[in-house]
Structure formats: C-alpha cells, structure tokens
Structure 1
Amino acid sequence: MAGSCSGNCSSCSQKCGDEEKKLQATLGKIKKKIVVMSGKGGVGKSTVAVNLASALALAGFKVGLLDVDIHGPSVPQMLNLQNTGVMMDGDLILPQEIGSLKVVSLGFMIDDPDGAIIWRGPMKIGVIKQFLSEVAWGELDYLVIDSPPGTGDEPLTVCQLLNDAEAVIVTTPQQVAANDVAKSLNFCKQINMKVLGLVENMSGFVCPHCNEVVEIFPGNAGEELAEKFGVELLAKIPLDPAVAHGGDAGTPFIQRFAKTVPGRIFNDMVEKLFGVSDGLSTF
C-alpha cells in the first residue's frame, strides 16, 4: 500500500505537494470507500457497482460513483447519462447528479462512444488521480468505485491512493472465472486491503414461468473462493432479464425491479453489509 498521510501537511517532515494536499482534502470528506473489482471481465462488476451505489443513495446516503474503467466505461449507459458532457466549477469537475448520487466517468468526456481509448499507464494514472482530487465530490457517506478487470494500473492506483478502501469482489460460477478472480483476492491480500466479501453473479437463471432459480452454468466459484480465502460470500445473484433491461434502459434494477428475485437478494446483501433497508424507491 502507499504510505499513509495524516492530512496535516504543516507537521509533515516531507511536506505534501499541492496534488497531495488536494487529494487529502477531498478524501477527508468521504467516510467510506468501496472498490468493486474482479480479475475476470464480463462478470457484472459495473452492474454490482451501479446498483450498490444506487441502493445506498435510495436509502438516503450521500453517495459518489466513480467509473475508473478507462477503456470500457459502462456507467453512463447504465444510468442514462450518455452525452452529458462535463461541467466545471473553477478548477473542479462537477459530477453528474441523480438525487443524492454523484457520478463521474471518462465516458462523459468522450464525443464518440465507439472511439477507442489508447492510453498507456501514466496517462490512466493521471486521470484517476484527477478524478479523485479535482472533482467536487463534497461530503460523502460512500464512494463506490467501478474498477476494470484485472490487477493492473487502474485498480492498483485506486487502492494505493485510497489506502482505507475496502473491496467487493465479483465472480461468476464457472471455474474459468474462479481462476482469475483468485488473482484479485491475492491482490487485496498483498496490498493489505480489506475484502468485504464476494458476489457470485449470474448464479442460475430465474424461470419466467415458475420464478424458481435454475442452475445453468457449471461450477461453484463463489463458495469455493470464499472458503479458500476466508472471506464471506455475500450473495448469489441469478440471471434475470430485468437486470439486463435495467442496464440497457439506464435504470438500476434495484430501483425499478426491487421486488424481483435478484432485487431481493441484492437488497438483502446491502442491508447485511451496511444496515440499509430497501424502503425507498426513488432517488
């Protein structure tokens, strides 16, 4: 992990630079930081991150959602925030706001949604630092970070800058996912990052006729990884067309489809983690 900073620059023998001062000033107003990550792509990290942030906002908390998936930002689509552009207040970027949810994504700054972001590590690291220190987040109860797959520049930068952040790791049932997700769990272990737990996404399929969950993918990655690494399996979320529809329509399923099987399971997980009930239905 990166070296810790008390935030009291006047007593620091090394003297923090302006960038460090801005970062510490911003982070000092954020009570809890949660990084949603996975070693495997396509497991539903963005779905989990968007709905986790939305559930907390629906419960009345002040929440930020930061999309650091530089090469494939999905958050704007999932919250119907495409083509919104970026507003500035002096030197600070203003997040897009949906009620008490503040959102920042590189996707807000891209004119061509099909354009490729071809950046090397230093540029990506610089953008992530800017998103943390030069955004008008204000006071937040939670900052949820949607991280790209793997253990490369983006998640490493976030975790080093947010040295008190905690992780939610997402997998799917298959062994091929477990192999890669294990790397994320080892990543957290090596940098001394607390893991709140695992989410097994796409865990079965909700039958549209009987509403029962039918297993369709082989494997039991969530339980196996939880046992191997000594972390909690927070939830097994089944496939449901409502989840996909919500993402495509720009409406979090936790808001519009809270009474579906995935909605109830997700709400139970959020309540278990944060003591949050699903009593609210709008931002």
Structure 2
Amino acid sequence: MSAPVSTVNDAVQAALATVNDPEIHRPITELGMVRSAEVGQDGVVRVELLLTVAGCPLKDKLRSDITAAVSAVSGITGVEIEFGVMSTEQRQALQTKLRGGGAAGQEPVIPFAQPGCRTRVYAVASGKGGVGKSSVTVNLAASLAARGLSVGVVDADIYGHSVPRMLGAEGLPTRVEDMIMPPEAHGVKVISIGMFTAGNAAVVWRGPMLHRALQQFLADVYWGDLDVLLLDLPPGTGDVAISLAQLLPNAEILVVTTPQAAAAEVAERAGAIALQTHQRIVGVIENMSWLELPDGSRLEIFGAGGGQTVADSLTQTIGAQVPLLGQVPLDTRVREAGDDGNPIVLAEPDSAASKALGQVADRLAVRRESLIGKPLGLKPAGR
C-alpha cells in the first residue's frame, strides 16, 4: 500500500529543508526560494525554485543538491526543477531577513562592531611589505576553516590585493539588492577589490575611497555567522589601519615580521599604533625564520631573533604581554602553494611550515563568548 499523498508531500518538504543555498548557507525553504513542490501521480516531484539573481553561478549545484535530497524520499521516481528568478520585492524581503529586520535601503551596519558579536576579528599587520603577511593570513584562514570554524577574509590591502589568487577563490561576488554574497574557497569566504576591477588593473585611490571600500566590505557583504574574520592589511600605519580602528575598534592585531633587525624595527611601529587606537595586540608571528637544510641544520637567511624582539618591545611599550605566537620556517612550497591557490596547510599539512602555522591557528581558534543575558556577579560597592 502506497503512503498517503500528504505524507509524501511532507517528506518532500522536509527533504527540501535540508538543502542549503550554496552562498547564503541557509535552507532554501527558509529563504523563500521554493515557490512550489508538487508530487505527481507518477511519483515525479516538480519543483519551482526562485533564484536570487538571474544567471546564478551555482545553479547547477542547487539542481544536484535538490535532486539528491528529494530522490531519497521513499516513493519518489524522479525530480524535475524549473528555475525562476525572485522579484525585486522578494529580494528586498530576503535582504531584510538576512540583515535581521533592518529595512532595505537603510544604511547597513557592520555586524562585527555590534555589542554581543561573538566573531573574533584579527587584523594581520606588518610594518613593511615582503614579509609574507598575505601568505600567513591565507594559511591561517584555511587552517581555521579545516578545524571546522566558519571563517571569512577581507583583503584590505587595496593596492596590493593578492588573497583571492593565493586562496584559489576564482568565483565572483553575487549581488542581491544592496547585499554582496562573497565567493568561497577551501571553506573560507573572501572579498577583495580585485573581484571588482578589470583584469590586473591598478587601484588609484586616496583615503576617503579606501575608507568607503573597507566599510562596504564589512557592512554590505553578507558574511553570515562567522567564528573568525581575518583582515589582510596593507603594510604600514596609513589610511586603512586608521579606518579599521574607527570601523572595528574591537579588532585584535596580529603583527607579522621576519627575523631581520630592520624588518623588526618597522614592525614595532605597526604594532605600536595599537596604543593610539586602543586595540589589543594578540601576538607576533615571525615568518621566514630559517631554511632547513637536507642535513637537518638550519640556515638563518634573514638573521635571528626579530620576532622575539618585536614581542618584547611591544610588551614594554604597551604594558601588556605580547607573545611570540610562532616561527614559520622558509619553504619554497609556501610560495608554490600560494601561486596554485592551494594553501600549504592543505597541500602539505606535514611540512614544518604547516605545523607552525597550525599551532598559531590553534591559539586563535577561540570564539568570543557573548555576555548578553549572563549574570556577571557584580555587587554595588559599599559606602
């Protein structure tokens, strides 16, 4: 005896609820994308699905995910999907839903700067270029995502953007009304000015434009519920570092340096800006610490001790402990993996560089606990 039609319909709806939109990562039923789903007498389910935008790049994935989920329902003999596109009103309703009730057209807020936000925000800074800051950022992001955390990266190095290539993020952002859906690679959501420029065109902007770009990356992009957000800052203490302090005063600073004394001196300046912005320095990472030779000995190409020198100096300057989080050895595979868009922590997880980066990721993989609704045990002081 076949199951009642109502029971089969319920099972189909339950199956559709297990399918997430590949960009928003929430059930398609919750997002209002399923316009209808009917089970025919022949056991074929006919689904009408509304895409957020015409020409959705992940249309084929939606088709395969829906087909797999619905085909698993007992009694279903086939799945036919007809794709439509949301109306302007439907997209605006979706935008309002995703922004937590804020009306479309209102100035978007930066979720990471709101009270109660549990996302840890790490700004990766360096005093000078060429110390491997972007490489460290990308590998930390991939390592954190591999540990099961929800991770995002903002390529805030507007002039020298390189994160998409190093992370292998080849997709382009999708726009839903005033929101931007970031592409994803290796489980990491990423946004970069390079995704909005033609070819390898140079970005020639002054301070106000840089500030507005960073603001849009933080407010207009739909990041979802992140555990960790990493920002790859440009070298030095210029406009972007100042804007970051204004937009994300709760961001914590990660200082990257090499062992070289000259690089360490400049890195100290980049870290010391935290005194003026009142941001916390979470620690120092020394990159390119040494080259391991075939006989097991170490060749210190850039000298030694720069990372510890920076950590000690910042500890004294700031008056709070600034630890040396790790020393990452020099390895040509780090560069090769970055050029291939496959971070070394994933491509060569047993390499010394991967293990060093993994240890740093372990120290950063802590989600901020919200204090909302929690008793703090405070008592009024007696007179």
TM-score normalised to structure 2 length: 0.63
Q: Which residue of 2 aligns with 1:59?
A: 147
1:181 corresponds to: 267
The unaligned stretches of length 5 or more in structure 1 are 1-16, 277-283
What amino acid does structure 2 have at the position aligned with 1:97?
E
Residue type of the alignment partner of 1:52? L
Partner AA of 1:101 in structure 2:
V
The correspondence for 2:311, drawn from 220, 223, 226, is 226
Question: How many Å separate the matches in 2 of 1:26 and 1:163?
Answer: 10
Match for residue 240 of structure 1 among 320, 327, 331:
331
Higher deviation after alignment, 44-53 or 27-36: 27-36
Given the alignment, which residue of 200, 211, 217 partners 2:286? 200
User: Who is 1:77 aligned against?
Assistant: 165
Give yes or no for contact 2:139–2:343 (8 Å, CA) kept in 1.
yes
Number of aligned residue pairs: give it: 255
1:37 aligns with 2:122: no
- Report whether the alignment pairs 1:96 with 2:187: no
Q: CA RMSD in A?
A: 1.9
Q: d(CA) in 2 for partners of 1:162 and 1:202?
A: 30
Are 1:62 and 1:139, in contact at CA under 8 Å, matched by a contact in 2?
A: yes
The one-letter code sitting in structure 1 at the alignment partner of 2:298 is V
Deviations 1:261-281 (A, max 9, x none): 1111111222234369xxxxx
The one-letter amino acid paired with 1:45 is K
Alignment partner of 2:227: what SS?
A: strand
Give the counterpart letter for 2:253 in structure 1. A
Aligned residue type for 1:225? V
Note the alpha carbon deviations across 1:141-185, whole angstroms, 9 max, x for none: 111111010111112111221111111100011111112111111
Structure 1 residue 219, shift from structure 2 partner: 4.2
SS class of match (1:140): coil
| d(CA) in 1 for partners of 2:194, 2:356 | 29
Corresponding residue SS for 1:216:
coil
Instruction: Give the TM-score normalised by the residue count of structure 1.
Output: 0.85
Pairing 1:267–2:352 present:
no
> 2:273, 2:208 → 1: CA distance?
20
Residue 13 of structure 1 corresponds to: none
Answer yes or no: is the 8 Å Cα contact 2:113–2:249 preserved in 1.
Answer: no
Distance 2:271 2:113 in 1: 25
Where does residue 148 of structure 1 map in the other structure? 234
- Structure 2 gaps of 5+ residues are 1-104, 316-321, 368-383
